[in-house]
């Protein structure tokens, strides 16, 4: 997975974020994407090869693995990271649209500095505020949904050592042993904790934006 491309795109959005947004982005890249790529993928690398069942029945192991791990943690986390990053692209698109508008005005004769246009930082006001706030809102929703999906699919956040499987063609209830369960539990809990932190950051940013706009409105009316 090429996370570098995501890094490039989100880096652009970083310029127009609040401070909390920048912290969120840092946490996302270092504590989630980097851990996923550097550590977690190795831990889950041999999850099927070393999934051992106490049976000689051919096909039983495959079926049992598929029954207990419909979608691997790694892939779920990758999906979660993509979904959680996507709302930021909305903001990037809005900023690009504003720049495009400015360029159009420049072409129509207004005096605008091209260099300044490239590096201009748009303040979060007006329609951009709505885009930004809705992107944060969707981020929170996606995080919560994925955390729930993890909980629902794997019955909690702990990786069991032994699973009992009686799917066909296993002749009877068969003991199957998961590979590296403790290490997997450690990383699952770690990623859960970081998701929680990201959610808290997003909530804080949402509150900050709402309070800022309320204060601005009240200052305007007084």
Chain positions contacting other proteins, by CB under 8 A: 3-4, 7, 19, 22-23, 26, 29-31, 33-35, 37-39, 42-43, 46, 49-50, 52-55, 161-162, 175-183, 186-187, 190
Residue whose CB is less far from other proteins, 56 or 221? 56
Shorter beta-carbon distance to other proteins: residue 4 or 109: 4
Between 25 and 140, CB nearer to other proteins: 25
Q: Which of 66, 76, 84 minimizes the C-alpha distance to 36?
A: 76
Residue 50 in contact with residue 179, Cβ under 8 Å?
yes
148 with 138: CB under 8 angstroms? Answer: no
Residue 209 in contact with residue 133, Cβ under 8 Å? Answer: yes
| Residue that has been written with the tokens 């990201």 in this structure | 198
Taking the C-alpha atoms of residue 50 and residue 159, their distance in angstroms, rounded to an integer, is 15
CB of 38 to other proteins, least distance (A): 5
Minimum CB–partner distance for residue 55 and other proteins (Å): 8
Nearer to other proteins by C-beta: 22 or 216? 22
């Amino acid at each position: 997975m090429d996370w570098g491309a995501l890094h490039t795109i989100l880096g652009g959005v970083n310029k127009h974020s609040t401070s909390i947004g920048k912290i969120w982005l840092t946490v996302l890249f270092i504590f989630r994407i980097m851990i996923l790529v550097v550590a977690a993928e190795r831990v889950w690398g041999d999850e099927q090869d070393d999934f051992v069942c106490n049976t000689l029945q051919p096909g039983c192991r495959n079926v049992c693995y598929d029954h207990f791990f419909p979608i691997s943690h790694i892939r779920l986390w990758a999906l979660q990271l993509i979904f959680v990053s996507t709302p930021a692209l909305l903001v990037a698109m809005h900023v690009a649209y504003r720049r495009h508008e400015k360029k159009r005005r420049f072409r129509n004769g207004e005096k605008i500095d091209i260099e300044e246009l490239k590096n201009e930082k748009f303040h979060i006001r007006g329609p951009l505020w709505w885009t930004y706030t809705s992107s944060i809102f969707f981020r929170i929703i996606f995080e919560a949904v994925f955390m729930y999906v993890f909980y629902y699919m794997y019955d909690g956040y702990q990786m069991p050592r032994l699973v009992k499987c009686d799917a066909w063609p296993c002749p009877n209830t068969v003991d199957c042993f998961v590979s590296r369960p403790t290490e997997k539990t450690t990383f699952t809990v770690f990623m859960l904790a970081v998701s929680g932190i990201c959610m808290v950051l997003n909530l804080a940013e949402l509150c900050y934006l709402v309070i800022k706009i309320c204060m601005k409105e009240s200052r305007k009316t007084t």
